[in-house]
Chains A and B, each alone.
Chain A
């Protein structure tokens, strides 16, 4: 391989594609920034609303409030305002005007005084998720009232209320505020790998199928440069674009973590620049892998459009192990380190939790991803040596 020619190819692909607005936007903006920003805004909104809502009084519509003065007092103490329910409570809930209506039936008082179970009814619409929080709040308050009354009744009858709790569970949570960060940032590995893939996407197409479609591949192959030099130069450019997109994504996450009010829900997100750097280095082999994978697939396709169709599909393949781990959570194991994307996913997750990385795992992940990436590059070189490459 001729180094000077290798750099000529590398430089040309990089400069050429930097002039393409679509590629540039994808590499610098859509790929790396969209995920973190969207996620930050979403999480911040969710957390802020949840925290704020509990402090806000909720106005509960009650039918027959006069029948249960004790319950009403209890609810008022629990930051619920009581108002009279409309004439058609079912209709009001069904149309979404009210989230929940509490109905106290006429025989409530009689049952209550006789220490029989006194029914109250909650009218809810379970298909409306947005109502769920308020419904739970009301249900929770009524249940707590019920428990406190039962305790009082037992005492009145000379029974120790503790008799009702023969076994008590005490949770000893060993998670730390930092390790719970994974609950918030579980999506992060996905964003990182996605950024690495999108960064490589257009350049991989442009430098293979695009080159053929423009008719520039044939003259290129008549120059005194070996096809391996040519392919390696192109692959390096694709890898670089992927790594740049990855790097921007990591920096964006480093910055975005401060925007999520994680402390409000007892989670400490603390990604240090050192963590970011480690993440970047751990993911770097993935950029080579994805460059090789996308280039090999794009070499088979006849046109830019066809390549786009195939690559959009291929893009999802590295996401399969990541989603697999979401559906079937497993402890990190050595065999996971052999699969590109899965190994990065596992390692990044450990990093977010603030756990120390096992050097063996890191080495296995980097070596296996590099070896598979290298094999794909060799396959790309071989594909370029065939006559069929001209289509």
Chain B
């Protein structure tokens, strides 16, 4: 469960996030949708404790990220914008390293890595250096790495960026599987179809503010548009006009 309450963040004179509140419950997929530069990544980076909130609070399973970052991080698995694998380490070593950093060692780590290799179908390239991986392979390994310590909450920043159709489908199936296992999945995207296909709840963000939220159906109703993309444009557009 991730709760974001009145979150604000400035970078110098730029107000990147201006009072964002939402919550992403367990067993649900929550999508953060917005045009480029809307404040999605900044919000997710604060949730993942890489940036500090300017004002407001973020709680992960009830733990305030600004108060006890380490405990919050243990409850979080993060797939950042770039996969950020170490090119000279193999897939398995990349995953193991994060396991160790999150306090898993020995047999438990071996077992966990083996599980993830199977779950994410990494086996074929598990012992190759990450240097030559395709985008899809990189995302898989980065996801395994984010999940190595068995976090309940997953934060995915534009996970399907650069994936081909097959890889995107496989990833979607996986995210659904995680949801069914009771995980809280929070992910961001600027692609409407992506969010519509996957999310239980959509939070639309533009210019650092939340402009609408609800299930895909609710959003269609709210705007009177049958097409979600039109609804999206309308919602973001009203913000620009305001």
Contact = CB atoms under 8 A, between A and B. Distances in A.
Interface of A: 2, 4-5, 8-9, 12, 15-17, 19-20, 214-226, 387, 390
Interface of B: 45, 48-52, 70-71, 73-74, 76, 78-89, 93, 97-98, 100-103, 105, 129, 142, 145-146, 149
A12 B100 CA distance: 10
Contacts of A221: 49-50
A9 B142 CA distance: 18
B146 to A, nearest CB: 7
Contact of B81 (A215, A222, A226): A215
B88 A8 contact: no
B103 A224 contact: yes
A131 B202 CA distance: 86
A214 B81 contact: no
A44 to B, nearest CB: 40
B48 to A, nearest CB: 5
A32 B45 CA distance: 43
Given A20-B88, A215-B81, A224 B149 contact: yes
B103 A5 contact: yes
Contacts of B76: 222
Taking chain A's interface residues, is the majority helix, strand, or loop, or is none over half, making it mixed? Answer: helix
B122 to A, nearest CB: 17
Return the 7 tightest CB-CB contacts between A and B, nearest first. A215-B82, A216-B84, A8-B100, A215-B84, A222-B78, A223-B101, A19-B88
Nearest to B77: A222
A387 to B, nearest CB: 5
Contacts of A390: 50-51
A15 B48 CA distance: 28
Contacts of B97: 8, 12
12 contacts: A12-B86, A12-B97, A216-B82, A216-B85, A218-B84, A222-B48, A222-B49, A223-B101, A224-B71, A224-B102, A224-B149, A390-B50
Contacts of A216: 82, 84-86
A218 B82 contact: yes
Contacts of A218: 45, 50, 80-82, 84
Contacts of A12: 86, 89, 93, 97
B50 A215 contact: no
B189 to A, nearest CB: 18
B84 A9 contact: no
Contacts of B129: 19
Contacts of B71: 224
B70 A222 contact: no
A20 B87 CA distance: 10
B80 A225 contact: no
A223 B82 contact: no
A349 to B, nearest CB: 40
B155 to A, nearest CB: 8
Contacts of A387: 50-52
Given A222-B73, A390-B50, A215 B102 contact: no
B101 A5 contact: yes
B50 A223 contact: no
B84 A219 contact: yes
B88 A16 contact: yes
B101 A215 contact: no
A128 B233 CA distance: 81
A219 B101 contact: no
A223 B97 CA distance: 10
A216 B45 CA distance: 14
Given A9-B101, A12-B97, A219-B142, A224 B74 contact: yes
Contacts of A217: 84
A73 B14 CA distance: 94
A226 B146 contact: no
Given A224-B70, A224-B102, 6 more contacts: A5-B101, A214-B82, A216-B84, A220-B101, A221-B50, A222-B73
Nearest to B89: A16
Most A C-beta atoms less than 10 A away, residue of B83, B84, B101: B101
Nearest to B50: A221
A4 B109 CA distance: 14
Contacts of B74: 224
Contacts of B50: 218, 221-222, 387, 390
B70 A226 contact: yes
Given A8-B101, A9-B101, A223 B73 contact: yes
Most B C-beta atoms less than 10 A away, residue of A8, A16, A219, A220: A219
A214 B87 CA distance: 9
A133 B74 CA distance: 75
B99 to A, nearest CB: 9
A222 B81 CA distance: 13
B101 to A, nearest CB: 4
Nearest to B52: A387
A12 B85 CA distance: 13
A232 to B, nearest CB: 13
